[in-house]
């Protein structure tokens, strides 16, 4: 059996060849895609996200993209978090976006599968996320991937 090596082409390692870790050159594409989706340009925010999740501790933090730099088709961001609320290490997904005209063709599912594969490699057995209750699309998307409500409940109050 061939030894696992980081020099293997992505296909040979069983990875989705169209999905790769983000590089600095992708940040502009992420900013543009997010602006197209949300109508807001948040350059400093995405720059910071890349520095925190794309450039450091890359065995635990995953900023993955699909498409060409400058014109991304989609991205997903996740990280392994340990012992928050007493929970053993688990994967957290906290951003996913697919270019509107490319939706409902399986790219979101492939991005999710790619980040889950990295969580497994990082040794965690569970993946979590949080969705806005009235965002039916993103909620339906995560449900379609097999996610269910977990054992935590989000609580909040006004501070006034």
Ligand X SMILES: CC(C)(COP(=O)(O)OP(=O)(O)OC[C@H]1O[C@@H](n2cnc3c(N)ncnc32)[C@H](O)[C@@H]1OP(=O)(O)O)[C@@H](O)C(=O)NCCC(=O)NCCS
Can you give the binding site for ligand X, defined by CB under 6 A? 37, 95-98, 103-109, 135, 137-138, 140-141, 144
Torsional class of 138: left (φ above 0), alpha (ψ -120 to 50), beta (otherwise): alpha
Q: Look at the chain and count its residues.
A: 160
Q: Which is nearer to other proteins, 71 or 143 (CB)?
A: 143
Beta carbon of residue 152, minimum distance to other proteins (angstroms, whole number) = 13
CB of 109 to other proteins, least distance (A): 12
65 binds, among ligand X, other proteins, none (CB under 5 to 8 A by kind): none
What 8-state DSSP symbol labels residue 146?
A: T
90 CB-near residues (< 8 Å, 6+ apart): 80, 81, 124, 125, 126, 127, 128
Q: Which of the choices other proteins, ligand X, none does residue 148 contact, using the CB cut-off of 5 to 8 A by kind? A: other proteins
């Amino acid at each position: 059996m061939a030894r696992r090596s980081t020099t293997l082409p992505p296909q040979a390692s069983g990875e989705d060849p169209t999905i790769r870790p983000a590089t600095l050159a992708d940040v502009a594409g992420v900013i543009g895609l997010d602006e197209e989706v949300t109508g807001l340009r948040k350059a400093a925010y995405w720059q910071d996200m890349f520095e925190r999740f794309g450039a450091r501790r890359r065995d635990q933090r995953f900023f993955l993209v699909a498409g060409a730099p400058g014109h991304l088709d989609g991205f997903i961001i996740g990280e392994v978090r340990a012992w928050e609320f007493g929970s053993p290490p688990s994967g957290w997904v906290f951003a996913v976006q697919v270019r509107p005209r490319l939706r409902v063709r399986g790219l979101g599912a492939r991005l999710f599968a790619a980040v889950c594969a990295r969580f497994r490699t990082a040794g965690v057995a569970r993946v979590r996320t949080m969705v806005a209750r009235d965002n039916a699309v993103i909620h339906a998307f995560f449900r379609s991937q097999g996610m269910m409500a977990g054992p935590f409940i989000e609580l909040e109050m006004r501070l006034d």
